Amino acid sequence: MKQAIDIEALNQQISIQSGFLDTLWDETAKVIVGQENMVQKLMIGLLAKGNVLLEGLPGLAKTLAIKTLSTAVNANFSRIQFTPDLLPADIVGTMIYNPSKNEFNIRKGPIFANFVLADEINRAPAKVQSALLEAMQERQVTIGETSFKLEEPFLVLATQNPIEQEGTYPLPEAQTDRFMLKVSIDYPNREDERIIVQRNLRPEGMPKAKPVVSINEILEARKLVRKIYMDEKIENYILDIVFATRNPADFGLASLEPMIGFGGSPRASIDLAKAAKAYAFIQKRGFVIPEDIRTVCMDVMRHRVGITYEAEAENLRSEDIITQILNTVQVP
């Protein structure tokens, strides 16, 4: 009975404190049309303290969505255009010699921001990608002998183009695992695209987002997200999904064994739980239900399930394997 009272109180608290999300959603909708799924997943990353990788063809508003969200949150924003000649120092910063004072001064790089847009992350070599991903994981940067904590909220939002392979350096599996979500972006529908064209042709130009949410509101919401109740049955459901990617035969999916090169790591289980809590918060609920898990599962798991050559020969993608697992694993 006590638990029920606690959840009821939590529901009321979330109902009050999540009001800023409606404001944030309305503000981004002024600029972004027809990409509700992408905006929602960016909000999940923001609330769950997770980095997001957006994959889609050029011109699908990936960069615009990230920039719009950072403007609406009134946060520091920096954009790094990844290129093959980029160096780690171009991201984290470096020591600059000052001859007049005969000393070295630290010049901080663009990583020192709340929202860091890593545009076309697969265009930079592995050393540069590692410098960024280390900052994502450790939430700190070392320049020379000095370490700097990165200011919260700190969020890396990366984009990559799935069709161009020439001159690119694909992210290794161990590094893509640092992203909580990998969101696949598709074309808008015909009516949404009509609105996009009309907005771009307006005499006054495209609408711009205004700051409507404070950083403090985001940080307070994050604390509340962690308090959201997750039943033991839901925890077991998460573990069943992740373990089914490692040992599919244990879940009656022996046919998938030759198709899976590697399954989800423990980080997949953690991120699935955190993303589900953030989604429950967006739905203004103080507890997680199985549908929350199913909603975020594809974006949390698609980059964490490796497929074999045999799967490629049968045109099976990681998304197809995850769908089979979700359709087979028993829902609590």
**Domains identified in the chain and CATH numbers:** 20-218 (3.40.50.300), 228-328 (1.10.8.80)
* Nearest-angstrom CA–CA distance, 131 and 22: 35
- Could you read off the pLDDT of 263-285 as tens digits, one per residue? 888 999 999 999 999 999 999 88
Share of the chain above pLDDT 90, in %: 22
Instruction: Report CA-CA distances (Å) from 55 to 7, 83, 249.
Output: 37, 17, 31
Residue 1, pLDDT above cutoff 50:
no
* Nearest-angstrom CA–CA distance, 157 and 152: 14
* Nearest-angstrom CA–CA distance, 60 and 160: 12
What per-residue confidence (pLDDT) applies to 169?
67
The whole-model pTM stands at 0.87
Question: What's the mean pLDDT in 145-172?
Answer: 76
* Nearest-angstrom CA–CA distance, 98 and 105: 7
- Could you read off the pLDDT of 191-207 as tens digits, one per residue? 888 888 888 787 877 77
Share of the chain above pLDDT 70, in %: 96
What per-residue confidence (pLDDT) applies to 164?
55
Biggest distance spanned by C-alpha atoms of the chain: 72
- Residue pair 152/112 in contact by the 8 Å Cβ criterion: no
The pair of structure tokens assigned to 324 is 């089979």
Q: How confident is the model at residue 168 (pLDDT cuts 50, 70, 90)?
A: low
Query: What residue type is 36 in one-letter code?
Result: E
Q: How confident is the model at residue 45 (pLDDT cuts 50, 70, 90)?
A: very high
What per-residue confidence (pLDDT) applies to 165?
56
- Residue pair 128/91 in contact by the 8 Å Cβ criterion: yes
Beta strand ranges found along the chain (DSSP E): 52-55, 77-81, 93-98, 103-108, 115-119, 140-143, 146-149, 155-160, 181-184, 260-262, 306-307
CA-wise closest residue to 279 among 72, 111, 44, 56: 44
Question: What's the mean pLDDT in 303-310?
Answer: 89
Angle at alpha carbon of residue 273, lines to 78 and 217, rounded to 5°: 45
